[in-house]
A and B are shown apart, each in its own frame.
Chain A
Amino acid sequence: MTFFPKALLIVAALGLAACNNPDRFGKGGAGADGAGGYGAGGIDANGLGDPNNPASIAYFNQSVGDRVLFAVDQSTLSPEGRNILIGQAQWLNSNPQYAIIIEGHADEQGTREYNLALGARRASAVQDFLISQGVAPTRMQTVSYGKERPLAICSEEACYAKNRRAVTVLSAGAGA
């Protein structure tokens, strides 16, 4: 039961081919720890490669670290966050075959639309930092999920802290 007319579906399909579809492939981008983004268009759970291969997405997710966390209602990068992103940038610069979508997320303690905007701020803070580290802007896109895709689902700070995140999601066949 899809009511979207054909014209729109074509547009959507083109968008998918060009730039992935972060909403569509579930937890494809997730690391082995089960955490992760919702992106990695076109790459299923088995497409992350061998974690022992330093050029694989699995290696990036697990060994480099695919995410940074934020304080409540903040989009400022912490020193730890910056360190992770420096590592991400080095890896991304040595592996130019991957395209990048940065997903921004918020915890549930906020209104829906504000959290969308807040998630965008977080994704953008990561993107700006990666650009400052030499990652080509043409490889990167951002998307915000606001509070739509929590990772941890308890209603306590322990979970909220994991949800206030920006995740760098890779896909092959890159470079936009």
Chain B
Amino acid sequence: MTLFRTLTPVLALALGLFVAASPAAMAQQGPLRITITDGVIEPLPFALPDFIPETGGAGDYAQQITRVIASDLSGTGLFREIPASAHISRVSSFDAPVAYEDWKAINAQALITGAVSASGDKIVVKFRLFDVYSGQQMGDGLQFAGTPATWRRMAHKVADQIYARITGEGPYFDSRVVFVSESGPKDARQKRLAVMDYDGANVSYLTDSSSIVLAPRFSPTGNQILFTSYESGFPRIYLMDTGSMQVAALAQQEGTMTFAPRFSPDGRRVLFSLERGGNTDLYELDITTGQSRQLTNAPSIETAPSYSPDGSQIVFESDRSGTQQVYVMPASGGEATRISGGAGRYSTPVWSPQGDYIAFTKQNAGRFHIGVMRSDGSEERLLTASFLDEGPTWAPNGRVIMFMRESAGAGGQSSLYSVDISGRNLRQVTTEGPASDPAWSPLLP
């Protein structure tokens, strides 16, 4: 139940740059580089000796932090860890010179060394990244300070630095995912809101299962969550503050159903669908004034709206052509341009945080797909296929997509999966039980 509350002040990111021992710190254009938009690539082998405990009581943290870093990197499918049993060199101290030849001999391309100290309620993690083949340190050494409760976040921060330096992409490991935790049989499913680290750790539950809850979404700062609940008996959108756990109903109007909420990039407005008399249109609510405004006015279903990262446009789905298709219109409303053009139905469009792609769900010939396309509909690429894949959400760096996959039949259950925008590295995200409707947070501060 303690979410960001505990984290924010604690890990007020003592992101310290300690003086790098070698002047080779600018070796950023070294040969150690993965371009993740390339096709099939061989994972880059790295060596990650256990971080060195520099104080008594730091041993467990050092070991666990090392494992989380390894898991983050290997989990991308872009890196492969060389097991410690194959290491020739032993790293005895953080400042000991690197025996590059020993790491080359086992084909390690990257070497990560680190140390952990613990004193009182404070833990400090520092690391260095080395390009083994050029024999140089890559970037500066960095250190992060936190409390025992935030050790995993510190590990994610280290892994984020390494990932970003080698791929040139933004980091994403230090992030959370809000989702719907499911239990019970298909015809009496119980649902409750939950939040976890991006890798499935540190789960906490935000509601009980007394009401159906659907499709949560983070605010741009990660400290508020929009969701749809049947708490009143009817689907309505609510806003939860993750610090205080206070919940407020938004845009209440008698006789209407509201759903599919999503924040504007500045966090001040909420786009949503409002149904009245069987017809669903898009609306925008100004959270500060409570004023809402109708953006579409058509007899068709308009839903699943998402802003472009600059806030100037809205992508949404509509069945105005007869089936679900994806459209883009100005943020103020007005004329919409259809961008989906292939066979089948297109839905749940979400603009990438980088602005370069729109992720969507596609239904065609009895199968569901998660795909991406440019905002003009070009370069469509399907990343997955199954009985039911639905509801993509973007990692903070816009390079990985999480979604839900449901299996068929009476025993059908939902799980969370992630996949690269290149379609590689499809993998299930570990959750305690069945899970659906994931929404990724921004990178934590």
Q: Chain A interface (Cβ within 8 Å of chain B)?
A: 1-5, 8, 11-12, 15-16, 19-24, 26, 41, 73, 75, 108-114, 116-118, 120-121, 123-125, 127-128, 141-145, 148-155
Rounded to whole Å, the gap between the CB of A138 and the closest CB of chain B is 11
Complex Cα distance, B186 from A21, in Å, reads: 21
Known contacts A2-B208, A113-B273: A8-B390 contact under CB 8 Å: no
Complex Cα distance, B240 from A3, in Å, reads: 10
Query: In the bound complex, do residue A111 and residue B391 qualify as a contact, i.e. CB atoms below 8 Å apart?
Result: yes
Contacts between the two chains (Cβ within 8 Å), count = 143
Query: In the bound complex, do residue B249 and residue A114 qualify as a contact, i.e. CB atoms below 8 Å apart?
Result: no
Instruction: Name the one of B1, B247, B259, B388 contacting A113, with C-beta atoms under 8 angstroms.
Output: B259
**Contact mask B348-390 → A, CB, 8 Å, 1/0?**
1000000000000101000000000000000000000001101
Known contacts A8-B231, A113-B259, A117-B303: A3-B409 contact under CB 8 Å: no
Q: Chain B interface (Cβ within 8 Å of chain A)?
A: 1, 185-189, 205-208, 210-212, 214-215, 230-235, 238, 240, 245-249, 255, 257, 259-260, 273, 275, 277-280, 301, 303-304, 317, 319, 323-324, 347-348, 361, 363, 387-388, 390-391, 406, 408-410, 412, 437
Rounded to whole Å, the gap between the CB of B71 and the closest CB of chain A is 30
Known contacts A4-B231, A143-B233: A151-B437 contact under CB 8 Å: no
Neighbouring B residues of A117 by C-beta, 8 Å: 273, 275, 280, 301, 303
**CB nearest to A2 among chain B residues:** B208
Neighbouring A residues of B409 by C-beta, 8 Å: 153-155
Query: In the bound complex, do residue A155 and residue B408 qualify as a contact, i.e. CB atoms below 8 Å apart?
Result: yes
Instruction: Name the one of B230, B247, B317 contacting A4, with C-beta atoms under 8 angstroms.
Output: B247
Instruction: Name the one of B234, B347, B361 contacting A143, with C-beta atoms under 8 angstroms.
Output: B234
Neighbouring B residues of A118 by C-beta, 8 Å: 301
Rounded to whole Å, the gap between the CB of B183 and the closest CB of chain A is 14
28 residue pairs A–B, Cβ–Cβ below 8 Å: A1-B208, A2-B210, A3-B206, A3-B240, A8-B238, A8-B247, A8-B249, A11-B249, A12-B233, A16-B233, A19-B233, A20-B233, A22-B234, A113-B260, A113-B303, A113-B304, A113-B347, A114-B301, A114-B347, A116-B260, A116-B303, A143-B257, A144-B257, A148-B212, A153-B410, A154-B410, A155-B408, A155-B409
**CB nearest to A111 among chain B residues:** B347
Known contacts A2-B207, A8-B249, A148-B212: A22-B187 contact under CB 8 Å: no
Complex Cα distance, B238 from A4, in Å, reads: 11
Query: In the bound complex, do residue A23 and residue B230 qualify as a contact, i.e. CB atoms below 8 Å apart?
Result: yes
Neighbouring B residues of A128 by C-beta, 8 Å: 278
What 6 pairs between A and B have smallest CB-CB spacing? A124-B278, A21-B233, A155-B408, A117-B280, A23-B230, A117-B301
Residue with the highest number of chain B CB atoms closer than 10 Å, among A114, A142, A155: A114
Query: In the bound complex, do residue B277 and residue A112 qualify as a contact, i.e. CB atoms below 8 Å apart?
Result: no
Rounded to whole Å, the gap between the CB of B283 and the closest CB of chain A is 13
Rounded to whole Å, the gap between the CB of A89 and the closest CB of chain B is 18
Complex Cα distance, B324 from A113, in Å, reads: 11
Rounded to whole Å, the gap between the CB of A117 and the closest CB of chain B is 4
Complex Cα distance, B319 from A98, in Å, reads: 36
Rounded to whole Å, the gap between the CB of B407 and the closest CB of chain A is 9
